[in-house]
């Protein structure tokens, strides 16, 4: 299938605004400070809550001495497990919306990990609260922690649940036979460290009780999830809880489920009988909001001399907490990416004294594709085959896992366009064969893939008597551009310019949307907005046709088109009238349309994924092993692109995060105490501007009607997938040193002794 065949007009009707690089409609609010984030809603009588974290990683609390803390002026409450209100556990099914972990805070003296919340202090001012929190003395009965996956590997166990919807051990064909038939084999271990999401905005909650009714302002990816979790925790009806989140300052997965500070803020507000604001610290975000789990992945590839894969084995370990089971599904993409009859996946878990891991941008693919795409690169060198050619030899024309046809797949196009843009042809095949003055130069590539996830969702569109329109859904803007893209989708159907459409989101008083995770928001909510806009427009058309005074009286609905805020005959634009005229004459304030998007994923006829190809150039100092990325090209098939600017920004953000993963990101535990040692942004390194070169991002034209009614396949996550592997492969090409353990810091290159 070529790009051309899949191409659809940028706009089927209306203004053609979809796809345009429209500036963010909330941009002005953001840069002028007018955008109100969760912690920024003022309330009379607001009190402040500060959480105290455990300083040990394993053991029990013996007791608290709160006498000095209580003497601090303004202290309203000090809540510990000894006096906390009873909080009910919440299910951990994220699809229901939900708690990130089963453990309910402040209900027992048992300590499972460093930083675990053990007390909440509430006082009149933030300063008083912080001072009192610093004066709470805690005594512990400390036990040695399990803080090292390597040391605990003997206790690895099979996950009780599924791994990304599949059994933890799966086999297709027979990998033993496949490996026996192989001429060439790669058999290596790859490691990825614990990483943290680190959004700019910390987790923050304001809780306001009015009798048994709770209003909660929360930094979240899932307002309805917060509502459900709070209703369950406090035993009140769901309709008694309202969650509001107008802007989220980045999330990357750590705000997708409900962490325990949310219920602690609400509990504190109930105890103190005051509105309570709770903003977590950066340090607390390292302990209590999940992380990408460490992995150790064993990849075995067998291939013929021509490069045809005869077997793929992808197995290994990741860590979870001692009280919850979270599996980092690193083998997920390996099931379906390359054509291979013999495939085996197997995952095991090691329980550590850490907080429960969670989803982090492309969970599974991000760690797994580092291993798989590094292994493919190793195979390419063994076969003396171009890495792109090797991938084409094993190109899957249908999904090898489900055997379904692809809904659309422009991966070959991604390779070809990427190679052209990046200048792949200039790459000399041999490692350590290219230089830029003193520096070793390396070029590497990797494939990207991410599945289509779409969720049922609802939206409402109201065309107003002044000719403008209001779009409503409870969905979220994580900084991704939801406001802007929903505006464009509504404009397209309604035939209105962007400045006449207002999007209102982030409130459980609005129609329900699911979690903004899994790259699902635009596909799901966007489709609902399109449906609701059509429904509202249909009502407007009916109103006009039914009105004897309207120039469109009696015209058939399919002869009427909407554009520039007018309804008119297709055949005669002069015969028409503005929305305002239609509604004014009818004496109506507005017409309203609603739409609930449902996806029938039980009887799938197609396998739907976004695809991409990542290309990195690195420069390595041969004496010091310092690696800098000098160029990067990413080409992606994400279905229809709703906004070329925000879409490209999503890819760039993903690639930058991938560069960080490749070269610097790593959360370190002190294995003796189980404490985190680098839990701030000075010591936990993410890329700064100087680490990021010019990023060349290409989004191919496509329209995937099977992925979503609006043709999109999802943009949030695929940008990071494969990016780290592309960098790692480039480092090998530059130096001839294969680093299989991220991040590729200079000591790992120096330690190999292979540099000058």
Partner 1 sequence: MNPFTYKRATDEADAVREVANGKNAKFLGGGTNLVDLMKMGVETPDELVDINRLALKRIEQTPQGLRIGALASNSEVANHRLVREQFPVLSEAILAGASPQLRNMATVGGNLLQRTRCYYFMDTSFPCNKRVPGSGCSAIPGFNRIHAILGASDKCIAVHPSDMCVALAALDAIVRVAGPAGARQIPLVDFHRLPGDTPQIETNLRPDELIVAVDLPNSPFARRSRYLKIRDRAQYAFALVSVAAALDVQQGRINAARLALGGVAHKPWRALDAEKVLTGARADAQTFRAAAEAALKGAQPQQHNAFKVELARRAIVRLLTEVAHETKGGAA
Q: Could you say which residues in the range 247-276 bind partner 1, by CB under 8 A?
A: none
Q: Give the whole-angstrom CA distance, residue 704 versus residue 347.
A: 33
Residue 574 touches partner 1, criterion: CB under 8 A: no
Among candidate residues 201, 492, 617, 717, the one labeled active-site is 717
CB 135 within 8 A of CB 327: no
Residue 150 touches partner 1, criterion: CB under 8 A: no
Interface segment toward partner 1; rule CB under 8 A; list 155-163, 315-323, 405-413, 745-753: 745-753
Backbone angles phi, psi at 692, to 5 degrees: -115, 120
Residue 200 touches partner 1, criterion: CB under 8 A: no
Interface segment toward partner 1; rule CB under 8 A; list 155-163, 308-316, 449-457, 665-673: 665-673
Interacting residue with partner 1 among 20, 131, 374, 708 (CB under 8 A): 131
Q: Residue 294 catalytic? A: no
Q: How far is CA 407 from CA 402, 577, 605, 639, in A?
A: 13, 40, 8, 10
Least Å distance between CB 622 and partner 1? 10
Residue 591 touches partner 1, criterion: CB under 8 A: no
Pairing of strands 439-451, 343-352: unpaired
- Please enumerate in sequence order all residues whose Cβ is within 8 A of that of 671, keeping only pairs 6 or more positions apart, or say none: 147, 148, 151
Nearer to partner 1, 240 or 671 (CB): 671
Residue 134 touches partner 1, criterion: CB under 8 A: yes
Q: What is the dihedral of CA 629, 633, 637, 643, to 10 degrees?
A: 90
Helix (H) or strand (E) holding 529, with range, is helix 521-546
Least Å distance between CB 46 and partner 1? 20
Q: Give the whole-angstrom CA distance, residue 655 versus residue 521.
A: 20
CB 744 within 8 A of CB 193: no
Residue 663 touches partner 1, criterion: CB under 8 A: yes
The encoded tokens of residue 745 equal: 């810091």
DSSP 696: E
Residue 623 touches partner 1, criterion: CB under 8 A: yes
Q: Could you say which residues in the range 682-721 bind partner 1, by CB under 8 A?
A: 682-683, 685, 687-691
Nearer to partner 1, 92 or 192 (CB): 192
The encoded tokens of residue 500 equal: 């006449």
Residue 20 touches partner 1, criterion: CB under 8 A: no
Q: Could you say which residues in the range 496-535 bind partner 1, by CB under 8 A?
A: none
| Helical residues (DSSP H) of 495-520, grouped into ranges | none
Beta-sheet strands, E only, within 289-424? 295-303, 309-321, 343-352
Q: Give the whole-angstrom CA distance, residue 67 versus residue 3.
A: 70
Residue 233 touches partner 1, criterion: CB under 8 A: no
Interface segment toward partner 1; rule CB under 8 A; list 84-92, 124-132, 536-544, 604-612: 124-132
Q: How many CA atoms does the CB half-sphere of 76 hold within 13 Å?
A: 22
Residue 55 touches partner 1, criterion: CB under 8 A: yes
Pairing of strands 59-65, 47-53: unpaired
Tally of CB atoms within 10 A around 247: 22
Residue 185 touches partner 1, criterion: CB under 8 A: no
Interface segment toward partner 1; rule CB under 8 A; list 202-210, 248-256, 429-437, 678-686: 678-686
3-state SS class at 417: helix
Strand partners, 616: 444, 632
Least Å distance between CB 128 and partner 1? 10
Least Å distance between CB 247 and partner 1? 24
Residue 746 touches partner 1, criterion: CB under 8 A: yes
Q: How many CA atoms does the CB half-sphere of 285 hold within 13 Å?
A: 24
Interacting residue with partner 1 among 626, 696, 705, 741 (CB under 8 A): 626
Residue 668 touches partner 1, criterion: CB under 8 A: yes
Least Å distance between CB 77 and partner 1? 20
Nearer to partner 1, 195 or 637 (CB): 195
Catalytic residues: 717
Positions in the binding site for partner 1 (CB under 8 A): 55, 127, 130-131, 134, 623-624, 626, 628, 663-664, 668, 670-673, 675, 677-678, 682-683, 685, 687-691, 745-747, 750-751
């Amino acid at each position: 299938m070529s790009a051309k065949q899949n191409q659809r007009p940028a706009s089927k009707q209306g203004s053609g605004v979809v796809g345009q690089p429209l500036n963010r409609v909330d941009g002005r609010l953001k840069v002028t400070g007018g955008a109100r984030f969760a912690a920024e809603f003022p309330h009379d009588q607001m009190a402040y809550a500060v959480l105290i974290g455990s300083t040990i990683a394993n053991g029990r609390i013996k007791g608290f001495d709160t006498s000095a803390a209580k003497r601090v002026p303004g202290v309203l409450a000090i809540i510990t497990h000894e006096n906390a209100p009873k909080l009910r556990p919440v299910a951990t099914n994220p699809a229901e919306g939900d708690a990130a972990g089963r453990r309910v805070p402040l209900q027992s003296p048992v300590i499972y990990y460093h930083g675990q919340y053990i007390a909440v202090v509430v006082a009149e001012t933030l300063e008083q609260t912080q001072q009192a929190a610093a004066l709470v003395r805690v005594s512990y009965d400390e036990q040695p922690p399990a803080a090292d996956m390597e040391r605990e590997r003997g206790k690895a166990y099979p996950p009780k649940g599924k791994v990304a919807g599949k059994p933890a051990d799966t086999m297709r064909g027979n990998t033993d036979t496949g490996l026996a038939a192989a001429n060439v084999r790669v058999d290596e271990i790859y490691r990825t460290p614990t990483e943290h999401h680190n959004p700019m905005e910390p987790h923050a909650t304001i809780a306001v009780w009015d009798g048994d009714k709770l209003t909660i302002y929360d930094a979240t990816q899932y307002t309805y999830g917060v509502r459900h979790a709070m209703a369950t925790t406090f035993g009140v009806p769901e309709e008694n809880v309202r969650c509001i989140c107008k802007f989220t300052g980045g999330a990357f997965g750590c705000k997708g489920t409900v962490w325990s500070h949310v219920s602690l803020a609400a509990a504190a507000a109930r105890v103190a009988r005051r509105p309570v604001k709770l903003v977590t610290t950066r340090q607390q975000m390292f302990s209590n909001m999940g992380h990408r789990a460490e992995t150790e992945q064993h990849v075995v590839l067998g291939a013929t001399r021509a490069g045809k894969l005869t077997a793929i084995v992808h197995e290994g370990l990741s860590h979870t907490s001692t009280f919850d089971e979270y599996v980092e599904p690193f083998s997920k993409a390996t099931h379906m990416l390359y054509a291979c009859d013999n495939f085996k996946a197997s995952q095991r878990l090691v329980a550590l004294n850490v907080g429960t891991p969670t989803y982090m941008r492309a969970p599974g693919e991000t760690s797994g594709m580092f291993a798989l795409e590094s292994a493919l690169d190793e195979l390419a060198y063994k076969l003396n085959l171009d890495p792109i050619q090797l991938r084409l030899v094993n190109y899957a024309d249908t999904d090898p896992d489900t055997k379904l046809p692809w809904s659309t797949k422009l991966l070959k196009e991604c390779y070809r366009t990427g190679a052209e843009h990046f200048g792949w042809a200039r790459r000399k095949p041999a490692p350590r064969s290219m230089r830029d003055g003193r520096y070793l130069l390396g070029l590497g590539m990797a494939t990207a893939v991410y599945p289509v996830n779409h969720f049922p969702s609802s939206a409402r569109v109201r065309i107003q008597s002044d000719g403008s329109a209001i779009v409503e859904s409870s969905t979220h803007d994580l900084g991704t551009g939801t406001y802007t893209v929903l505006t464009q989708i509504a404009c397209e159907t309604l035939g209105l310019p962007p400045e006449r459409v207002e999007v209102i989101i982030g409130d459980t008083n609005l129609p329900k949307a699911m979690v903004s995770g899994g790259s699902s928001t635009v596909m799901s909510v966007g489709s609902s907005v399109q449906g609701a806009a059509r429904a509202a427009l249909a009502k407007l058309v009916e109103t006009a046709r039914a009105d004897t005074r309207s120039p469109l009286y009696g015209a058939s609905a399919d002869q009427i088109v909407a554009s520039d805020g007018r309804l008119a005959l297709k055949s005669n634009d002069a015969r028409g009238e503005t929305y305002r005229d239609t509604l004014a004459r009818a004496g109506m304030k507005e017409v309203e349309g609603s739409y609930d998007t449902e996806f029938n994923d039980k009887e799938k006829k197609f396998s739907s994924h976004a695809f991409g190809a990542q290309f990195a150039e690195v420069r390595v100092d041969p004496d010091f092993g310092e690696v800098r990325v000098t160029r990067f090209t990413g080409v992606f098939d994400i279905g229809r692109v709703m906004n070329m600017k925000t879409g490209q920004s999503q890819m760039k953000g993903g690639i930058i995060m991938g560069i960080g993963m490749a070269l610097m990101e790593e959360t370190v535990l002190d294995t003796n105490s189980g404490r985190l040692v680098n839990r701030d942004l000075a010591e936990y390194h993410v890329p700064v501007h100087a680490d990021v070169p010019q990023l060349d991002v290409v989004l191919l034209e496509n329209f995937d009607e099977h992925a979503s009614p609006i043709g999109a396949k999802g943009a949030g996550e695929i940008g990071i997938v494969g990016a780290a592997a592309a960098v790692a492969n480039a480092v090998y090409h530059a130096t001839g040193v294969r680093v299989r353990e991220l991040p590729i810091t200079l000591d790992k290159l120096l330690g190999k002794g292979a540099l000058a």
